[in-house]
Amino acid sequence: MENIQVAVFGEALIDMISQESGVFTSLVGGSPFNVCRALSRQSINSWYMAPVSSDTLGKKIEAVILNEGVHAPFLGQSNKPTSIAIVTQSSRGLPAYTLYRDQVADFDISASEIIRHLPTNLGLFHTGSLVLVPEKREFLLTIFAYLKDKNIPISIDINMRKMTTVDLRSYHDTVLEVMQYADYLKVSDEDLETLGIKDNHEEYCQTLAKDKGMRLIALTKGELGACLISQDYSFVSPVIKPANFVDTVGAGDTFFASLISYVLRNKLQTENLTVSTHSLFESALNYAQVAASINISKQGCQPPNIDEISVFAKSQDIPI
C-alpha cells in the first residue's frame, strides 16, 4: 500500500436494500464510508474518522472496517444508534432512499476531537453527503479552517438526499456554502438541479472552479456519462456499460473514490497543464468510469481494486 494518507468523515450506515421478493438485504454503506473503503482497495491508507456505534449494527460496520484494512480510531465509541437507509428502486431504476438519522453515532463527536486524531502527513480530507446539514455547518467550517491553514486538500461529494427532517432552504444554503471549500468536488446533474441550477451545468462548474480556485470538479450525468472540469478545461467520458446490470448503489462513491485514487497515486496537478497531463486526466476519468461500471455489476457498493479495474479496461481497450 502506498504511503498516501486520506481521512474521511461522514456516515457509515446499514443499507436495507429492497428485493423483488419483498425482503430486504442488509449491506454496510454510507457515501463517505463507501469512498473510504474504495480508496483502501486502491492502495490508499484510509482513515474513517466518524464514531462507530457499539450496537449490533455497529459491530457489522466494524467487521467490514477491519476486513478492509481501514484505520478507524473511534470504533465502538458511541452508544448512539447506527443509521439505517431503506433503499428501494425508482421508476427509472435508480436507488431511492428513506433515511433514519435521529441522534446517530456518526455525529457523536466534536470537530476538535477529529482534528486531534488526524493522521500525520495527511494528503487529503474527504467528506460530504449526510454531514452537509445545517447542524454540522460550524463543525465542518472549523475542520476546514484547520485544513486550509495546513494546506491539506479537501474533497467533497455533495450527494444530495431528500432530508425530511431538515429545513430544505437551510439545507441547500449549507451545501452551497460548504462545497466552496473543496479542492476536489463531485456533483451530479441531479444535485445541481436540486440546488436550483437548472441548466448549463458544465459552465456553472467551470465558473465555480475559477472563482473558488478549485483543482478539479467531477460532474456526473447519469446515462450521459461524466465530465471532468478544471479552471481552464473540461472533457466528457461516456458511460461504460457493465456486462451485467444489478444496481447503482454506491456507483457514484466508487467513481469519485477511484478518481481521487488515480489523481493522488499519479500525483496529478491541474496547474501548468500540458498535452501529456491532459491525457492523464482523461485516463483518470476513464479509470473512474470503469470502476463505477464494475460496481454496478454487483449488489450494493462493492468497489473494485486496481487489478480488477485494469483487467476490465484492457478487455474493453479503454486507456487508463
Q: What is the mean pLDDT of each run of 10 residues along the chain (320 residues)?
A: 88 86 85 97 96 96 96 95 85 73 93 97 96 96 98 96 80 96 96 93 94 94 91 86 85 96 84 61 93 91 94 92
Can you give the pLDDT at residue 206? 93
pLDDT attached to residue 93: 61
Beta strands in the chain (DSSP E): 5-8, 13-18, 24-29, 45-48, 84-89, 95-100, 122-128, 154-157, 184-188, 216-220, 226-229, 234-237
- In 80-167 the beta strands, taken as DSSP E runs, fall at 84-89, 95-100, 122-128, 154-157
Query: d(Cα 99, Cα 94) in Å, to the nearest integer?
Result: 16
Residue 38 phi/psi, 5-degree rounding, is: -65, -45
In the three-class reduction of DSSP (H, G, I as helix; E, B as strand; rest coil), residue 90 is classed as: coil
- Cβ distance 259 to 229 under 8 Å? no
pTM for this predicted structure? 0.93
What domains lie within the chain, and their CATH numbers? 5-315 (3.40.1190.20)
pLDDT at 243: 79
In the chain, what is the straight-line distance between the N-terminal and C-terminal CA atoms, in Å?
A: 20
What pLDDT is recorded for position 179? 97
Please tell me the predicted confidence (pLDDT) of residue 80: 97
Contact in structure between 316 and 293 (CB atoms under 8 Å): no
